[in-house]
Amino acid sequence: MTTRFVPTHVRSAIDIVVTDRDRTVSERRAFTSFIDRLSDFSVESIDSNTRLDCSTPVQTVREQTRSLHSESDQLARVRELYRKTVMGVEHYPEEYGDSFDESIAEEFGSETAAAALNSDQLTPQLRDRLIEVSNQARESRHALLQGLENEYNALQSADEALTELGADLDDVLSTHSFQTWPDEELATVRKDLHARERECDRLAADRQTTLHKQRVPSTHHIDLEFTEYLYRSLPVTYPVLTDIASLTETLRTARQNIDHALASETNASTHSSAI
């Protein structure tokens, strides 16, 4: 089957969605690793009201000092763990390229980020808060993956439909004149082209309905429509609608050329009858 029309924008969109899907899977896995390893950290509450004076036994002073250093070391380990897991995914420099402080603030919010960056020790409360916001970040990736999977399926369906609708058009599109075509054949081709146009209209309407329902399925602070978020690197924001419009215009132009040929035949027959 010879194909004249190729939905190039849709296929570019598929490549983007596949890449984004793979990266989101990596990020979700990274947060899972961060959460699991952070959950293994054993921390004890520090009584900030404890006062050390001359009557405090030397052993007690040493134990409390050692505990403070241990908690401080653990917070440093948490920061390093974040760098190795969340910031350690292969695509991180290309996709984000931000600093450690910026990454923490983006993922965990300013308040939790400030605690993680400025605290002297890892308390149970801070550890639990880090686990909580990390779970939220992981869930945001899970939600995004569902949206990406839905978009991938929609793009695959659009690619198949547009490829089929744009097939077997070489003879029609390459013909410079339909004057030699029998009227019956012209009428058959015109009917087929018109049916393909109607199918394109249906596809466009379905896609519009889908777009109206889409938003970025993530807890990230992204104030964009899903397609605008996904296809910001493409020359068009709506690749499916763009390819549908392109095919529709191609079909309409071919049908209008056939209409003109049929009209010319009708006028010629009428003129002959009059003579």
Average pLDDT over residues 244-271: 81
pLDDT at 271 over 50: no
Query: Per-residue pLDDT tens for 35-80?
Result: 999 999 887 654 444 444 545 454 443 444 444 445 568 899 999 9
When pLDDT is cut at 50, 70 and 90, the band that residue 213 belongs to is confident
Predicted pLDDT of residue 45: 57
pTM: 0.81
Contact 211, 238 (CB under 8 A): yes
Nearest CA to 241 out of 4, 75, 7, 5 is that of 7
Nearest CA to 13 out of 238, 245, 222 is that of 238
Nearest CA to 26 out of 145, 109, 113, 143 is that of 145
For the chain, which residues make up each domain, given as ranges? 8-274
The conformational region for residue 97 under phi > 0 = left, psi -120 to 50 = alpha, else beta, is: left
Residue 122 to residue 43: CA distance in whole angstroms:
7
**In sequence order, which ranges of the chain are alpha helices (DSSP H)?**
8-39, 58-84, 92-95, 100-108, 110-118, 124-165, 170-174, 183-213, 226-230, 239-274
